[in-house]
Amino acid sequence: MIDVHPPHKATHTWTDFFIHIATIVVGLLIAIGLEQTVEWLHHRHQLAEVRAALDQERGLNLHVIEENRGSIPKIDAELSEDARLLQQRAAGDRSSLTGKLNYDWVMYALHDAAWQTAKESAVLGLMPDRTRERYAYHYEAMGGYEKELSELSLVTYRATAIVRDNPGGNFSEEDTRELIEATHQAQALFAHLKLMMKFVGESSQ
């Protein structure tokens, strides 16, 4: 006797196919979501590290500015005294100026390593615009300060070289004119430098 059975259900129906595809799609979406979540957390961690480094550097710069401000009265007084002595010299006073002229001061430079590192990375673009602009303003003010400090250093080096080359303090008329010019230029640069110190201090708040 022959048994007749109904045909078995096909193992690969359209329903099975779509279920299989849906499973793959859901799996991919979960994988992508997990990857993006990990990347987001990584960026958040990087951003927190960058902001901490920038805040620390900004605090250090504020400390440097305060240190430099403490030198302002002494530098102002010495520049004024240098100008007075040189004007007397130009008016005919032939007394020696040995040891009386001083262009040797200490003004500390600011730090921007954290900012340069942040600019070279993509992390800076993750900051809110206002936060990024606040940091940029601080370092822009710093750039103005550093420019003035560099120019002031060159002028004072020039004056120091003239003084060093005349150990007897008996400057010629040409040397006296150059020293007067350098001293007045240093006074102008120092006045602007004090203004830039104010901007850097305000941008740190």
Q: Between the CA of residue 42 and those of 97, 114, 119, 149, what are the distances in Å?
A: 64, 19, 18, 39
Rg (C-alpha) for the chain, rounded Å, is: 35
Residue-level pLDDT at 43: 65
Q: Which sign, positive or negative, has the C-alpha torsion 188, 190, 191, 196?
A: positive
- In this structure, how many other beta carbons lie within 10 angstroms of the beta carbon of residue 110? 21
Contact by Cβ (8 Å): 71, 107: yes
Residue-level pLDDT at 104: 86
Residue-level pLDDT at 106: 84
Max Cα–Cα distance, the chain, nearest Å: 144
Burial of 128 (0-12, 13-18, 19+ CB in 10 A): exposed
Residue-level pLDDT at 81: 95
Residue-level pLDDT at 1: 46
- In this structure, how many other beta carbons lie within 10 angstroms of the beta carbon of residue 140? 14
What's the CA angle centered on 115, arms 71 and 137, to 5 degrees?
70
Low-confidence residues in the chain, pLDDT < 50? 1-2, 4-5
Residue whose C-alpha is closest to residue 107's, from 166, 55, 155: 155
At 7, is the secondary structure helix, strand, or coil? coil
Structure confidence by residue, pLDDT tens digits, 74-132: 999 999 999 999 999 998 888 888 888 999 888 888 999 999 998 888 788 888 888 88
